[in-house]
Amino acid sequence: MTVVFEDTNSAPDPLLPWLWSIKKALEAETSSGNGSGLDLSKLLYDCIVTFRDDDQYQNDVRFLRIWFLYIDDCGSIEFETSHINPWSASTMKDLLKKLGPQIMKYDGYHSSQKAYSGKVALSSLQNSSRNKIIEIGGKKYQITGCAGQGGFAQVYKAYVHSNPDEVVALKIQKPAFPWEFYMYRQLDERILDNERSNFGFALRMHLYSDCSILVCDYLAHGTLQDAINSYVVTGKSMEEELCIYYTVEMLYMLETLHGAGIIHGDFKPDNLLIRYARGDLTEDGLREHSGPWHDQGLCLVDWGRGIDKRLFPENAEFKGDCRTSGFRCIEMQENKPWTFQVDTYGLCVIVHMMLHNSYMEIEKKKSSGGGYIYLPKSSLKRYWKVELWKDLFTQLLNMSPGSDDNKLRKLRESFQDYMCSKPQFIKKLKELLVKQRASLCSA
């Protein structure tokens, strides 16, 4: 790597402070040996942006050396805004450091500098956790079972003070990770009250030096993955009426989220809890989500990979791989920048799973305009609403960067127009939802 010279005795020079900062960043990178170069890359980029249009430096050997350093560091001579990995450890660390004072003010936030020291060790919950009682922040939680498990977190169903009428989900994560709590509070602030139940609630978070415990609402009716699996085991596919209904629900979810500058980042069927209406569903109110239909639908949870676009530069694009098999959007597969595509691709995969009982495989096809488009390999059955499904896959698998609000809205409305134009559709949908509830709740 080229080295910028150390000193100069010239008159005051705006470039000089940059040279010294770059020199220090080079020395830090060399001494640490980690090769990350995050600070160096930003310094080089900012320096070039500052002086590239200044005639004084066009032939200055020092400025040319900075260009060479930048080229060496990036491996490219293209001058573009850096693409950010929103999930990298360094990005998360920087954001949480910046947001720390704000998070501390949120309702339900509790922190301690010490490790969790309850009488029942959290590590013991992984084995035979049923009916153990743990104390968190002055409340006692009776663990009734494990509701989910991942690489860094476990989710448990629990009764508050052993009261079966007050059920919560406890998400215990090591190391501590307050980001998800921040995302839930952003949902509280940005999503309208009549739509808020679609996205889960965090009641409080307890942050310790060795772990974090997120206390959330608990929904007992299973996930969309459970609903899909109930068909897989019988060798059948979900009825098209249900597929259309859940597609509308998901389109509306993403339309709402993306319009609020929020990306979920892990949009898959096991993160979509099923909600059921308290009373009997009616013939009207489906389109408007009114009456009993307001409580019927889906609830999107697990916000650990959530992205708040307002924390990044306007029109920022991201680089980063979710590494979730079957849910890596086309841009991730081709190492291209992405924004909302991480969610809309997930929606397409879920729709494919509902229709075909399998993950989606895509292929690149030539389009009539001379370019190419991406489409699922699986064929649509001729007795389905082929035009609706074809339009959805074509639109969402071939999205250009930028806002997708109008595209999602138009797709949602096309499905809703079909649903609500046929009284027999709503009647059949109601019957299927009653049947599904009985099946999932008895499992």
Q: Of 229-233, 241-245, 269-273, where does mean pLDDT reach its minimum?
A: 229-233
pLDDT, residue 366, reads 87
pLDDT of 34 higher than 60: no
Instruction: Provide the pLDDT confidence category of residue 37 given band limits of 50, 70 and 90.
Output: very low
Q: Which of 13, 53, 73, 266 is catalytic?
A: 266
Q: What is the CA radius of gyration of the chain?
A: 26
- Which pLDDT band, with edges at 50, 70 and 90, does 78 fall under? very low
pLDDT of 4 reads: 40
Instruction: Calculate what percentage of the chain has a pLDDT beyond 70.
Output: 88
- Give percent of the chain above pLDDT 90: 61
Tell which residue, 253, 281, 209, has the closest CA to residue 436.
281
β-strand 297-300 against 202-207: which pairing, if any?
A: unpaired
pLDDT at 62 over 90: no
* Residues ≥6 apart with Cβ < 8 Å to 406: none
Is a pLDDT exceeding 70 seen at residue 7? no
Q: What is the pLDDT of residue 368?
A: 78
- Mean pLDDT value across residues 11-34: 75
Active site residue 417: no
User: What does the pLDDT read at residue 315?
Assistant: 85
In this predicted model, what pLDDT tens digit does every residue of 81-139 receive, in sequence order? Answer: 568 999 999 999 999 999 999 999 999 999 999 999 876 777 777 666 678 899 999 99
Q: Is the pLDDT of residue 33 over 60?
A: no
What pLDDT is attached to residue 402? Answer: 64
Q: Is the pLDDT of residue 18 over 70?
A: yes
265 contacts 320 by C-beta, under 8 angstroms: no
Which pLDDT score is estimated for 64? 78
Average pLDDT over residues 147-156: 83
Banded model confidence at residue 39, pLDDT cuts 50, 70, 90: low
Phi, psi of 375 (to 5 degrees): -145, 155
pLDDT level of residue 173 (50, 70, 90 thresholds): very high
Distance CA 96, CA 212 (A): 14
Using pLDDT thresholds of 50, 70 and 90, give the confidence band for residue 296: very high
Q: How large is the average pLDDT for residues 28-49?
A: 66
Structure tokens at 255: 């339309």
* pLDDT reading at 11 higher than 70: no
**pLDDT per residue over 259-274, tens digit each?**
999 999 999 999 999 9
Separation of alpha carbons 246 and 224, rounded Å:
9
Q: At what angle do helices 423-442 and 224-232 cross, to 10 degrees?
A: 90
Q: What is the pLDDT of residues 319-351, one digit of tens each?
A: 999 989 999 999 999 999 999 999 999 999 999
Q: How confident is the model at residue 416 (pLDDT cuts 50, 70, 90)?
A: very high
**pLDDT score of 75 more than 70:** no
The arithmetic mean of pLDDT across residues 156-167, rounded, is: 93
**Domains (ranges, CATH) in the chain?**
15-73 (no CATH), 105-217 (1.10.510.10), 224-442 (1.10.510.10)
Q: What pLDDT is recorded for position 57? A: 76
Which pLDDT score is estimated for 196? 96
Contact at 8 Å (CB) between 192 and 201?
no
Q: Measured between alpha carbons, how far is 200 from 41 in angstroms, rounded to an integer?
A: 39
Q: For residue 127, what pLDDT is reported?
A: 60
Q: Which of 5-9, 122-126, 381-385 has the lowest average pLDDT?
A: 5-9
Dihedral angle over CA of 185, 190, 193, 195, nearest 10 = -100
Residues 6+ apart with CB under 8 A from 103: 96, 109, 178, 181, 182, 185
Please write down the HEC assignment for all residues of the chain. Answer: CCCCCCCCCCCCCCHHHHHHHHHHHHHHHHHHCCCCCHHHHHHHHHHHHHHCCCHHHCCCHHHHHHHHHHHHHHCCCCCCCCCECCCCHHHHHHHHHHHHHHHHCCCCEEECCCCCCCCCCHHHHHCCCCCCEEEECCEEEEEEEEEEECCCEEEEEEEECCEEEEEEEEEEECCCCCHHHHHHHHHHHHCCHHHHHHHCCEEEEEECCCCEEEEEECCCCCEHHHHHHHHHCCCCCCCHHHHHHHHHHHHHHHHHHHHCCEECCCCCHHHEEEECCCCCCCCCCCCCCCHHHHHCEEEECCCCCCEEHHHCCCCCCECCCCCCCCCCCHHHHCCCCECCHHHHHHHHHHHHHHHHCCCCCEEEEECCCCCEEEEECCCCCCCCCHHHHHHHHHHHHCCCCCCCHHHHHHHHHHHHHHHHCCHHHHHHHHHHHHHHHHHHHHC
Check: CB of residue 208 under 8 Å from CB of residue 115. Answer: yes
Q: What is the mean pLDDT of the chain?
A: 87
State residue 54's pLDDT score: 74
Handedness of CA 418, 422, 426, 432 (dihedral sign): negative
User: What pLDDT, on a 0 to 100 scale, did the predictor assign at position 125?
Assistant: 77
